[in-house]
Amino acid sequence: MTDPARPLVLILCTGNSCRSHMAEGILRHAVDGRVEVASAGSRPAGYVHPKAVAVMAEIGIDLSEHHSKHMDQFLDKPVHTVITVCGNADQACPMFPGQVRRYHWGFDDPAQATGTEEEILAEFRRVRDEIVKVFTAYAAGICLHS
């Protein structure tokens, strides 16, 4: 249930298995309850990628209870801000009731990485670190204005 006192920020990606969950976890941690944060996908994968869970645990953010959701679950909720983190979700993104802002910050899909196990983990960490920079800066702006 959405708390009307806290605006809802919805982070969208196509599969809702990696980038959107990492961004959700980072933003939720950074805003410390000032806004409600959720993630969803236009074509949910049905799982959260285990490597995304692992690299987020390395920075103290637990995604183990997250699950993949379809963006349609939020069509009847007052979404204040929509942030897309991949190009396909940006193109498929509908307008949500109450939506005031929309941003698109694209990140590479670490699930597409190839190579050794360590090379793939390195790609997940690289993308995680990019998401940390962008969403921590965004959270600082939210916190200044709340």
- Residue 3 inside a domain? The answer is no
- Residue 47 inside a domain? The answer is yes
pLDDT of residue 73: 93
Catalytic pick from 9, 31, 56, 86?
86
pLDDT of residue 146: 47
Average pLDDT of the chain, as a whole number: 89
Q: Residue 118: CB partners within 8 Å, gap ≥ 6?
A: none
pLDDT tens digits for 15-37? 999 999 999 999 999 998 889 99
Catalytic pick from 11, 55, 93, 127?
93
Burial of 98 (0-12, 13-18, 19+ CB in 10 A): middle
Containing structural domain, residue 78: 8-138
- Supply the CATH number for residue 56's domain: 3.40.50.2300
- Residue 124 inside a domain? The answer is yes
pTM of the predicted protein model:
0.89
CA distances to 9, 83, 128 from 102, rounded to whole Å, are: 10, 6, 21
How many domains does the structure of the chain reveal?
1
- Residue 144 inside a domain? The answer is no
Catalytic pick from 12, 13, 38, 82?
13
Q: How confident is the model at residue 56 (pLDDT cuts 50, 70, 90)?
A: very high
Catalytic residue at 143?
Answer: no
